[in-house]
Structure 1
Amino acid sequence: MTGLRALVAEDEPYNLKRLVRLLKEQGCEVVAELEDGPAVLEWLSQGGEADALFLDIQMPGLTGLDVVEDLPRPFPIVFVTAYAEHAVKAFEQAAVDYLLKPVTADRLAKTLERLQRMKAARSGTSLAPQGNGPFRFAVKAGDGLVFLDLAKVTHFTYEDEQVLAHGGGNRYRTLWKTLAEAEAALEGRGLVRGHRHLLIRPEAVVGVKTGEFGRLLVRLAGGSEVEVSRGQAPDVKRRLGLG
């Protein structure tokens, strides 16, 4: 496993050194070793780049969960925690994976394999061509797979621990484990976050309106309607040419 650039944020020195060592042993480049949430945001605001952020959930200043809410741009996230119950919160934040302390080499290898697949998809070594041309991705069908055109999809959601593609009144089970993984694989395809569990294809939007409590409601081809979070509303409007 090589070629992955990792940022590690952990406030306990022993755990920080251990994870950094394990990452380096598996061929990763650790581009930043940080001790709290504000330091992560500061490093990224100064132009720092990484293929994945390994964030301790419980850190002073800002927790790992807080950091994800304030990220300046999407990154694949791996949460690190001593408590298994935090795994649910991790996936609610669309994390790629979570690691339980003490992190083991075998478990880390599985996470890095998933991150490597995501990086390969972003670099164009997936089934799909690059650019704005036709893009197909695999979805489950019975005991096999079929390939679905992205142009037929209106949006993606994360439900019941799986990523679903919606289109034509149908729901398709994708192979992506988290919405972050889907977002990374579809990078450059124009999708926009509606909220932590929603990705929208702007070309499928046929109308917008203001809903309850001032929330932005987006109407999609086929008649479905989705609600956009307050935090993502400005970005969605910009992508639709509304601001």
Structure 2
Amino acid sequence: MTTALIADDEAHLAQYLKQQLAACWPELEIVSVARNGIEAAEQISAWQPELAFLDIQMPGLNGLEVAQGIEGATRVVFVTAYDDYAVEAFDAAALDYLLKPLKTERLLACVARLKAALGRPPAVDESRLAETLQRLLAPPVQGLARLRFIRAASGDMTHQVAVDEVLFFHADDKYTVVRTAQGEHLIRTTITDLAAQLDPEQFWQVHRSTLINLAHLVGTRRDEMSRLFVRIKGHAQELPVSRAYVHLFKAM
């Protein structure tokens, strides 16, 4: 059986899609119905479904951000009410897309496309995928000076951390963790804003929630499922690389 996940914060729309898929694709097994983007990301990681039907507009993480963080082989179908938005995402980052309100003829065509595609290796250009998702998530910010220091408050003390000393940045709930060899600090600046202000030759985004400093990169490793991980000097745990950014390491 082909496995799939549905993610939509509007429960009645998620159930409607599930019912329609059951009618036109009885062999499809829906392993999870996620209520928001964070739950979708967790369930994709846990279940590793072959397909994920992701609503683009969801709380926590939107569908584009969820797609940006997929580490395994799950292929994405975006579900959206915005035609232009969907078309651009589909052109580079998705297997197909569905427009709301769902139409039976369009769903049948989508199912036919999915069945055919599942029998072939993925044809998505990963570099285009990453570039398109980043552009859709946050248009480039112009005119910002490159960051040289990070200011992080701790009680009545404000620490000034040179960016060269940062091993990596990692988004954690409401905060971003600034990790150095000496410890960690918390700031409220988002990964997207940091990426726009840091030198792209020095800092690479490897996941929707992670930016690494290449000066401290030790190496990479693939696990038995071909998922890529990076090893950072001075940090014991490996960091996952999402599928959208694997192409960055092909020349290394």
Query: Shorter-chain TM-score: what band?
Result: 0.5 to 0.7
Classify 1:37/1:119 alpha carbon distance in 2 versus 1 (closer, same or farther; 3 Å): same
Structure 1 gaps of 5+ residues are 123-180, 184-191, 199-211, 217-228
- TM-score normalised by L of structure 1: 0.53
Classify 1:103/1:196 alpha carbon distance in 2 versus 1 (closer, same or farther; 3 Å): same
> Contact 1:92–1:197 at 8 Å: present in 2 too?
no
Deviation string, structure 1 residues 163-217 (Cα, Å, up to 9, x no partner): xxxxxxxxxxxxxxxxxx514xxxxxxxx8345279xxxxxxxxxxxxx84179x
Aligned to 1:193: 126
In 2, distance between residues paired with 1:194 and 1:23? 31
In 2, distance between residues paired with 1:101 and 1:10? 12
Classify 1:230/1:62 alpha carbon distance in 2 versus 1 (closer, same or farther; 3 Å): closer
- Indicate the percent of aligned positions where both proteins have the same amino acid: 32
Classify 1:197/1:239 alpha carbon distance in 2 versus 1 (closer, same or farther; 3 Å): closer
SS at match of 1:71: coil
* Mapping of residues 175-190 of structure 1, within 5 Å: 181-183=122-124
Q: Give the counterpart letter for 1:79 in structure 2.
A: F
Aligned to 2:50: 51
> Contact 1:9–1:35 at 8 Å: present in 2 too?
yes
* Mapping of residues 91-130 of structure 1, within 5 Å: 91=90, 93-122=92-121
SS at match of 1:214: coil
SS at match of 1:14: helix
Moved over 6 A (4+): none
Classify 1:14/1:63 alpha carbon distance in 2 versus 1 (closer, same or farther; 3 Å): same
> Contact 1:4–1:116 at 8 Å: present in 2 too?
no
Structure 2 gaps of 5+ residues are 132-198, 208-213, 215-229, 231-245
Aligned to 1:214: 201
Deviation at 1:101, TM superposition (A): 1.0
Q: Between Structure 1 and Structure 2, how many residues are aligned?
A: 147
> Contact 1:65–1:93 at 8 Å: present in 2 too?
no
Alignment RMSD: 2.8
Deviation at 1:120, TM superposition (A): 1.6
Classify 1:74/1:89 alpha carbon distance in 2 versus 1 (closer, same or farther; 3 Å): farther
Deviation at 1:237, TM superposition (A): 6.6
* Structure of higher CA gyration radius: 2
Determine which structure has greater relative contact order: mean sequence separation of CA pairs < 8 Å that are 6+ residues apart, divided by chain length.
Answer: 2
In 1, distance between residues paired with 2:96 and 2:116? 13
